[in-house]
Amino acid sequence: YLDGNSLGARPKAALARAQAVIAQEWGSDLIRSWNKAGWFDLPARLGDKLAPLIGAEAGEVVVTDSTSINLFKALAAALQIQAANPQTAARRVIVTERSNFPTDIYMAQGLTAWLDRGYQIRL
């Protein structure tokens, strides 16, 4: 997690690179850029560059969705496991802290509303 809610100052090379991506990779190459420009491999390549910053090895880090989206997916997976377990399937309370980042709570609330299985968020 590298401060997912703050972009910071724009690097000098970012504008030219963004223009090149928009004009060539997206504008001309279109869907071929997933292979030709290496878009499929980009999450792993970026992860390899970030790995030394967090003490990880190449191949151990992948750049993925936002923190909020990953939290939503993790909660969804946890609730799926919980619902499949006969010992816990009837439980419907999700406990979180009021001091959590607001979007973390919104993700839990959104998931429970979307699932519509009677889950309640307890702060």
Q: What angle do CA 7, 15, 56 make, to 5 degrees?
A: 50
The predicted pLDDT at position 122 comes to 96
* Helix (H) or strand (E) run with residue 24 in it: none
On whether the pTM is more than 0.85, the answer is no
DSSP at 93: E
DSSP string, 25-65: IITTSGGGHHHHT-TTTHHHHHHHHHGGGGTPPTTS----S
Contact partners, residue 53, CB within 8 Å, separation at least 6: 2
pLDDT digits (tens, 9 = 90+) for 55-103: 999 999 999 988 899 999 999 999 999 999 999 999 999 999 999 999 9
How many CB atoms lie under 10 A from the CB of residue 15? 10
What is the residue type of 90?
A
Domain ranges of the chain: 1-64, 67-122
